[in-house]
Homo-oligomer: A and B are copies of this chain.
């Protein structure tokens, strides 16, 4: 498409240069916010019209939070910042020589281009796993999991033979990172406390919740004591944790494991890894072997003057992090912040500062009153850690209404242990006319 995308410059201040940001995740949003009320024209592009708070996405998948609680309309964040323009667009290609970006809406020229497109699910080349497992990187994928799990029990309740029910009731989660651990804990809690009330006819002792990890431990980024405690919490909830275990194949019914007996389940949740997103126009020499885009200490893309990459999508190698920084929200936010400052220094003719990561710590929650928190100088576990986890996540999420909604929902869940979100809301397909939510969906993949 060659029609130019015209971000109507409805701006009072004089515009020096145009910065185009691709992706409204933690990094992209932070950049656009810090660059508002500056002399730049900032164009933020995202394929969705909302920012999504990924750390709580597993609660959407397990019917504990509604999708709107973890999503925030991007346009709403820029009501009072006329130099920031948002467009819902799918980015297709960079033409580096012409400083031009091709999107499904038209072409857009840039002075500075910042890529913050994050990462997607990595199936490590296993086509069957890709086909039959359920990933959890987007709101619609989380809702798919919610609907899938609820459908399973609606199905199981009509099956007379308990043996035949088991594969429909079992849930297998692959990946022992924070997402896998939090999903497993949350699903075990559903099994222990909620589902037996909804389905008194089913015996939930027959439902297995299995967490599979290829490596030797869960939560590899955390301290050993925290890792052990997380494992203990999961086992307390009745999660079967299988370490040193590799998934080799899955056909929608049976999970094949390397050197171990297979497991029967219709529900395989895949949280085993991510791979950096990329874009046509990025050359192979600009990528690390694992696919992350190579940047220098200013987050400048290798071999490019005016293209930057931040967050999960890039890899910045320094002395302290010879393999690059961990792909977590904190790194994305700090890189975005540093880059925004540098772009502001540029306007004042001041020198740029290199990126330095300040590790603020990590945390994960396993279930009610059970969490592990590693801060730089202190580390703790249990009820207080859980409370800190709740507080930190509540403060981090955007928007007062979202905070209030989540606080209310959590308080309700804590008091009643009965989340009210076990709803199977699906688009209906009218055969005759094929009317559906997807009708006007741009033609791209997840």
Q: Which A residues form the contact surface with B (CB < 8 A)? A: 5-6, 8, 10, 48-50, 66-68, 71-73, 75-76, 79, 82, 87-88, 105-106, 130-131, 138-141, 143-144, 147-148, 150-151, 154, 157-158, 160, 197-201, 399-402, 404-405, 408-409, 412, 416, 418, 420-433, 435-438, 440-441, 443, 445-446
What are 13 contact pairs spanning A and B, CB under 8 A?
A66-B66, A68-B421, A73-B422, A76-B197, A87-B157, A87-B158, A130-B433, A140-B427, A140-B437, A399-B420, A404-B408, A405-B409, A431-B443
Closest-CB distance, A265 to chain B (whole angstroms): 15
Assess the A404–B412 pair: CB atoms within 8 A.
yes
Chain B CB within 10 A, most for which of A144, A418, A440: A440
Closest to A412 in B: B401
A423: which of B6, B71, B405, B445 is its contact (CB, 8 Å)? Answer: B71
Query: How far is B139's CA from A141's CA once the two chains are assembled, in angstroms?
Result: 19
Number of this chain's copies in the complex: 2
Closest-CB distance, A94 to chain B (whole angstroms): 20
Chain B CB within 10 A, most for which of A73, A105, A408: A73
- Asked, given contacts A5-B158, A412-B401, whether A424 binds B50 with beta carbons under 8 Å apart, the answer is yes
Assess the B424–A445 pair: CB atoms within 8 A.
no
- Asked, given contacts A140-B428, A143-B425, whether A433 binds B131 with beta carbons under 8 Å apart, the answer is yes
Chain B CB within 10 A, most for which of A88, A151, A408, A426: A426
A427: which of B66, B150, B401, B437 is its contact (CB, 8 Å)? Answer: B437
Query: How far is B72's CA from A147's CA once the two chains are assembled, in angstroms?
Result: 15
Assess the B412–A197 pair: CB atoms within 8 A.
no
Q: Which chain B residues lie closer than 8 Å to A422 at the CB level?
A: 49, 73, 75-76
A425: which of B8, B140, B402, B428 is its contact (CB, 8 Å)? Answer: B140
Query: How far is B79's CA from A425's CA once the two chains are assembled, in angstroms?
Result: 21
Assess the A200–B82 pair: CB atoms within 8 A.
yes
A48: which of B158, B201, B424, B445 is its contact (CB, 8 Å)? Answer: B424
Assess the B426–A140 pair: CB atoms within 8 A.
yes
